[in-house]
């Protein structure tokens, strides 16, 4: 009887999910309630986790809960540390849930709500969660090896070496964009800067508390840490209103960039228990708590989506970033549905902490679904704003004009109504001096979240809600930045370790310091590129970020597909093979357009030629010529990197197919004889 009841429940859940999903997909000119978004997401996630993830774990991967993990076999109290499953889940979720699920859906809303919603739900279930879980499993079975090292071992010298180089380069670009987003959110905002800065000593205190003061008291430490984080938000408001204190936290983009670079180096060098794990664990409380409260507020308020299902910018003329709906909606959303960066975490820090294989579906597949739900919340928060306000916040000054009047006139010409007075009042209510041209997606998302929280819990606290949302976004990003830098250090140690074995010892201090410094210097340069860009860095770095991220996902799926084929599981290779094929199509198309498109807002080389022509014709002011030359060099560098990554991707895919099917033929021949 109980079995029949469960079956009925799952059938009803499937029908409800289908109804919600079809309502979203088929609605056009009529308004749609945000509750449908949450309903569709929850139903689809529950069904996918219960059936698809369980099937992959049991049939494809064959997880063994009695097999010792690397954390148990190689324990050294530095990198390999058996850790409670919930702390591992918290660390993994915090590390993977960076700017992608927050910023990507927000930026992609320039196409309308429908394309992003469909890709977030479908991509996460069939692609992103599959990649994360399979990579975590394969790395765990191989002593926590990095993705690049697994590629070298499993695919072969050619494809493996290409993967090592490409993966490291992609990691550098990803971390740079993470830093850029948080810089744009905190620049000249003492409240946001002081609050985010306070999270670092809080995390260190909790790490020491759990390690030396109250060992193993996870719940107790969590409550203390969460209380301190809330206190940090409140204290940030006091600092912002103090004419003396606010000057210590009111900084420009370049100063904040240097601070983030220094933080990244410290996070890579310090023991994982002191900063990385406690910070990630604490930030998970903030992230999950905020997402849950936001979902409750949306269900309670039932706001209407203001953004149309599709806008006129699907043709590629959008103000936030150039490029048509295909392929750039898939490139822009990135982490919300599938992210190559996750494979670095799943083959970096997480397998070194996991104490039992049975938690792989929960941590690998489950954390990705949770991140996808964050992306749904971000999309809702962005699209419940009036479209005019949304575009006023996210459109760079280089597109709409540096003066408020010019920006408003331009946005109104697109058919989205907004006034200067509305924007001034909005900025005042949010505790900011201006919200025009706050590119990067984070400020507009914070405004959307603050409006929802304000209507649900009190509009007199809008400034508090806004800066809480900024902290919420910033710690999302910084926890990915610090984990990413550490993973980048592991990757570099692996690569150099192939030549000089001593350097490959992840606990050797000279190797730790030197490799960390190299990694931070590399992504620090690209962060600098974004900071000096007059368009806020989003136009130049975010497409490169998206392409690199999706290429990395394709590399991870190539490794997974190759391992399945070599393990004589060809009949299951479609599990990773289908999303791999889709990503190859998307990334190849996007890379080609970014390199060769004649549209200066899409093509890197076209943009470089345009800036060169402006210098030659005297359209660039003398005091800006040196920066313009730097931007020209950066555009050409981005084109070269994109082409290089495309070559690496195809090298990995072709070599994977060659090695995998050659191995399979050898096995078949041996068996037949």
User: Distance between CA 564 and CA 544 in Å, rounded?
Assistant: 30
Q: Residue 362: its pLDDT value, please?
A: 96
Q: At a CB cut-off of 8 Å and minimum separation 6, what does 207 contact?
A: 273, 274, 275, 277, 278, 279
Q: How confident is the model at residue 114 (pLDDT cuts 50, 70, 90)?
A: very high
**Residue 664: other Cβ atoms inside 10 A:** 15
Inter-residue contact 95 to 136 (CB < 8 Å): no
Residue 123 pLDDT exceeds 90: yes
137-193 pLDDT, tens per residue?
999 999 988 887 788 888 777 777 777 787 788 778 878 877 887 787 787 788 778
Cα Rg of the chain (Å, integer): 24
Paired strand residues for 317:
none
Region 281-307: mean pLDDT is 82
- Most confident segment among 17-31, 437-451, 499-513: 17-31
User: Distance between CA 253 and CA 440 in Å, rounded?
Assistant: 13
Region 284-304: mean pLDDT is 83
Computed from CA positions of residues 414, 26, 52, 649, in that sequence, does the dihedral angle turn out positive or negative? negative
The percent of residues above 90 in pLDDT, for the chain, comes to 33
- Most confident segment among 130-134, 203-207, 501-505: 130-134
Rounded to two decimals, what is the model's pTM?
0.85
Q: What are phi and psi of 172, to 5 degrees?
A: -60, -45
Q: Which of 357-371, 400-414, 602-616 shows the lowest per-residue confidence on average (mean pLDDT)? A: 400-414
Q: C-alpha distances in angstroms, 565 versus 236, 286, 432?
A: 54, 41, 55
The distance from CA 285 to its chain's CA centroid, rounded to whole angstroms, is 18
Whose CA is closest to 239, among 431, 62, 497? 431
User: Distance between CA 302 and CA 611 in Å, rounded?
Assistant: 47
User: Distance between CA 145 and CA 128 in Å, rounded?
Assistant: 20
Residue 579 pLDDT exceeds 90: yes
Average pLDDT, the chain: 85
Residue 658 has, within 13 A of its CA and on its CB side, a CA count of: 12
Region 426-450: mean pLDDT is 81
Q: Residue 557: its pLDDT value, please?
A: 95
User: Where is pLDDT greater, at 97 or 327?
Assistant: 327
* 213 burial level (CB within 10 Å; 0-12, 13-18, 19+): exposed
User: Where is pLDDT greater, at 55 or 673?
Assistant: 55
Q: How confident is the model at residue 116 (pLDDT cuts 50, 70, 90)?
A: very high
Whose CA is closest to 282, among 198, 349, 341? 198
Q: Residue 308: its pLDDT value, please?
A: 92
Region 7-27: mean pLDDT is 89
Q: Residue 42: its pLDDT value, please?
A: 94
Q: Residue 5: its pLDDT value, please?
A: 78
User: Where is pLDDT greater, at 165 or 609?
Assistant: 609
Residue 109 pLDDT exceeds 90: yes
Q: Which of 53-57, 101-105, 112-116 shows the lowest per-residue confidence on average (mean pLDDT)? A: 101-105
**Residue 582: other Cβ atoms inside 10 A:** 18
Q: How confident is the model at residue 203 (pLDDT cuts 50, 70, 90)?
A: confident
Paired strand residues for 593:
none
Tokens of 581: 């094929």
DSSP state of 33: B
Q: At a CB cut-off of 8 Å and minimum separation 6, what does 271 contact?
A: 78
Residue 279 pLDDT exceeds 80: no
Q: Residue 538: its pLDDT value, please?
A: 63
Whose CA is closest to 549, among 250, 104, 197? 104
Q: Which of 87-91, 99-103, 380-384, 584-588 shows the lowest per-residue confidence on average (mean pLDDT)? A: 99-103
Q: Residue 664: its pLDDT value, please?
A: 59
Whose CA is closest to 310, among 145, 585, 112, 495? 112
User: Where is pLDDT greater, at 472 or 68?
Assistant: 68
Region 383-389: mean pLDDT is 92
Region 225-240: mean pLDDT is 83
Q: How confident is the model at residue 463 (pLDDT cuts 50, 70, 90)?
A: confident
DSSP state of 433: S
Q: How confident is the model at residue 668 (pLDDT cuts 50, 70, 90)?
A: low
Three-state secondary structure call for residue 596? helix
Inter-residue contact 367 to 136 (CB < 8 Å): no
Helix (H) or strand (E) holding 624: none
Q: At a CB cut-off of 8 Å and minimum separation 6, what does 181 contact?
A: 99, 103, 440, 441, 442, 473, 477
Helix (H) or strand (E) holding 643: helix 625-672
Q: Residue 253: its pLDDT value, please?
A: 83
Q: What are phi and psi of 33, to 5 degrees?
A: -85, 140
Q: At a CB cut-off of 8 Å and minimum separation 6, what does 595 contact?
A: 603, 604, 605, 639, 642, 643
46-70 pLDDT, tens per residue?
999 999 999 999 999 999 999 999 9
Three-state secondary structure call for residue 330? helix
Work out the angle at residue 93's Cα, subtended by the Cα atoms of residues 530 and 265, and round it to the nearest 5 degrees.
Answer: 45
Residue 667 pLDDT exceeds 90: no
Region 641-648: mean pLDDT is 90
Q: Residue 306: its pLDDT value, please?
A: 93
Q: How confident is the model at residue 476 (pLDDT cuts 50, 70, 90)?
A: low
Q: Which of 41-55, 251-265, 278-292, 456-470 shows the lowest per-residue confidence on average (mean pLDDT)? A: 278-292
Residue 300 pLDDT exceeds 80: yes
Region 278-286: mean pLDDT is 68
**DSSP state letters, 261-328:** HHHHHHHHHS-TTTTHHHHHHHHHHHHHHHHHHHHHHHHHH-PBP-S-SS-GGGGTT-SSS---HHHH
Q: Which of 460-464, 547-551, 564-568 shows the lowest per-residue confidence on average (mean pLDDT)? A: 460-464
Region 506-512: mean pLDDT is 78
């Amino acid at each position: 009887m109980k079995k029949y009841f469960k079956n009925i429940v799952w059938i009803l859940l499937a029908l409800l999910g289908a109804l919600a999903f079809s309502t979203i997909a088929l609605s056009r000119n009529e308004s749609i309630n945000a509750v449908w978004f949450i309903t569709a997401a929850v139903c689809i996630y529950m069904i996918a986790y219960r059936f698809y993830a369980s099937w992959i774990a049991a049939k494809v991967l064959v997880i063994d809960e009695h097999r010792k993990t690397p954390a148990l076999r190689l324990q050294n109290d530095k990198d390999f540390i058996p850790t409670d499953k919930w702390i591992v889940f918290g660390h993994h979720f915090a590390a993977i849930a960076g700017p992608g699920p927050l910023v990507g859906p927000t930026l992609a809303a320039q196409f309308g709500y429908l394309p992003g919603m469909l890709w977030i739900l479908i991509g996460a279930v069939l692609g992103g969660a599959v990649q994360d879980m399979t990579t975590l499993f394969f790395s765990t079975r191989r002593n926590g090896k990095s993705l690049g090292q697994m590629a070298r071992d499993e695919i072969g010298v050619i494809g493996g070496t290409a993967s090592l180089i490409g993966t490291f380069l992609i990691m550098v670009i990803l971390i740079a964009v993470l830093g850029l987003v948080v810089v744009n959110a905190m620049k000249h905002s003492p409240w946001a800067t002081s609050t985010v800065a306070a999270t670092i000593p809080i995390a260190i205190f909790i790490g020491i508390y759990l390690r030396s003061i109250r060992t193993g008291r996870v719940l107790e430490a969590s409550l203390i840490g969460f209380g301190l984080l809330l206190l940090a938000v409140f204290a940030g408001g006091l600092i912002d209103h103090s004419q003396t204190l606010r000057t210590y936290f009111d900084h420009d983009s370049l100063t904040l960039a240097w601070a983030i670079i220094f933080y990244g180096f410290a996070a890579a060098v310090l023991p994982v228990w002191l900063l990385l794990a406690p910070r990630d664990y604490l930030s998970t409380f903030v992230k999950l708590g905020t997402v849950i409260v936001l979902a409750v507020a949306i269900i309670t308020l039932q706001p209407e989506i203001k953004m149309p299902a599709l806008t006129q910018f699907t043709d590629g003329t959008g103000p936030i970033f150039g490029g048509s709906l295909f392929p750039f909606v898939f490139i822009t959303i990135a982490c919300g549905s599938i992210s190559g960066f996750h494979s670095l975490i799943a083959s970096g820090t997480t397998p070194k902490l996991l104490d039992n294989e049975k938690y792989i579906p929960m941590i690998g597949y489950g954390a990705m679904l949770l991140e996808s739900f964050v992306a749904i919340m971000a999309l809702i928060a962005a699209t419940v704003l009036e479209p005019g306000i949304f575009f006023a916040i996210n459109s760079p000054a280089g597109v709409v004009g540096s003066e408020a009047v010019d920006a408003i006139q331009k946005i109104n010409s697109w058919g989205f109504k907004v006034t200067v007075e509305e924007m001034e009042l909005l900025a005042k209510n949010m505790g900011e001096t201006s919200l025009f041209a706050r590119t990067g997606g984070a400020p507009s998302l914070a405004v959307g979240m603050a409006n929802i929280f304000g209507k649900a819990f009190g509009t007199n606290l809008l400034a508090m809600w806004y800066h809480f949302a900024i902290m919420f976004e910033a710690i999302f990003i910084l926890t990915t930045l610090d984990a990413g830098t550490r993973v980048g250090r592991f990757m570099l140690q692996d690569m150099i370790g192939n030549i000089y074995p001593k350097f490959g010892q992840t606990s050797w201090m000279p190797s730790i310091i030197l490799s960390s410094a190299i990694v931070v210097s590399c992504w620090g340069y690209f962060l600098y590129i974004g900071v000096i860009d007059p368009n806020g860095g989003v136009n130049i770095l975010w497409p490169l970020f998206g392409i690199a991220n999706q290429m990395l996902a394709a590399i991870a799926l190539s490794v997974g597909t190759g391992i399945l084929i070599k393990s004589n599981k060809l009949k299951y290779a479609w599990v990773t093979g289908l999303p791999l094929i889709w990503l190859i199509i998307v990334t190849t198309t996007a890379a080609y357009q970014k390199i060769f498109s004649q549209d200066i807002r899409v093509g890197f080389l076209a943009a470089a030629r345009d800036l060169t022509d402006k210098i030659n014709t005297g359209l660039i002011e003398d005091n800006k010529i040196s920066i313009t030359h730097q931007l020209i060099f950066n555009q050409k560098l981005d084109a070269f990197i994109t082409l290089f990554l495309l070559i690496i991707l195809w090298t990995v895919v072709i070599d994977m197919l060659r090695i995998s099917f050659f191995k399979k033929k050898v096995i078949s021949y041996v068996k037949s004889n």
